[in-house]
Structure 1
């Protein structure tokens, strides 16, 4: 679905990304992992057309992403940035309604309202529909933002550290919902994550970056071993396979 070929991003002489080539599989959860400053957000933002590569190409459905009209692209890929600051006193229902803009340019009809409410219900925050966003906790607001891009109704969702501001319980609940989007609704999700045990539990494929370079990519169970974790993080890990999932411990 998404083909990244020889992507490089430079700031002066600094390589934020250095010749990255990889494919994003359809109908899978793909996690991007790596240390802070490894290029994770830069790569995600280039795929989402929020940043331009210095060189290389990204294809969506075999077509260069830069050749899509803006609204057409927004009907195909939705991106949730790491930092979202809206200094307006908006109700939740109105914020989530922004997700319908690529389809109707702000003129919501009855079908749009239904999609917005279904998105809120899926994210288990329909009860917040009439609250103002400045009344929400960080975890509630994160769910509402994801409901907004869910209302955008795209095949691909790019999520930059959506587990931030979530406690352990709500982080697991969110990952369960993401798995449901992929397994039952055919979505393709690319997500930046730091918690390796969440990766082992919920993710299909992995992309690992270090200093702007691709360290590995592939199925989690195939490539994310103790040797590779040491390569990524310069730390020693022990991996144990439990009855239902895999756990990584720092030695």
Structure 2
């Protein structure tokens, strides 16, 4: 096997392996709320240089998320919200402002409205949302928050409005399968089309049947490429042996 053939074969295996990893991660998160499927792609990179041979390497590109929202499921839990349109919840993390469609909420020990991991949600004013102890909590379709404080029956109080960001331009870096860092948080825009549904939750956007079929096909491709490289290597070794004996 020539060096060029070997490196081309290894590049193909790396691209196929990246695809397998992405599909495996997707299938493992079919039940994860707000999960955005990972997309692994590859492209041909033609050999460069004046004396480069014809042909190209197969290069695995960095995986990116499928940004379509998952289907809404009714939970009946007032501390869950589903997002429609291109909207995202904004959360405050140690890495900066991040976006999520996992609408599993909680009220932290500090009295802040937070996501399931304890990251404070941000309001339309860019600040965390502080809540007193409530007997009821209402989140409107526009993200407006209101509730009835403990000890004040019948008195509904407003507590601000959730930020509902539009899908930003440019790539986003995944902190997890459902939490993403925009390239430039200062350029986030509010989405006029985003609608919240309290008592609902966005599921994973993974198509499990399609992903399983793709994983089977990709696994076969990996095995075929491995066998092809082995056969080519064996043939080259046999030819070198014959030439050495001659």
Normalization by structure 2: what TM-score? 0.24
Tell me which protein shows more helix as a share of its residues: 1
> Bigger radius of gyration, 1 or 2?
2
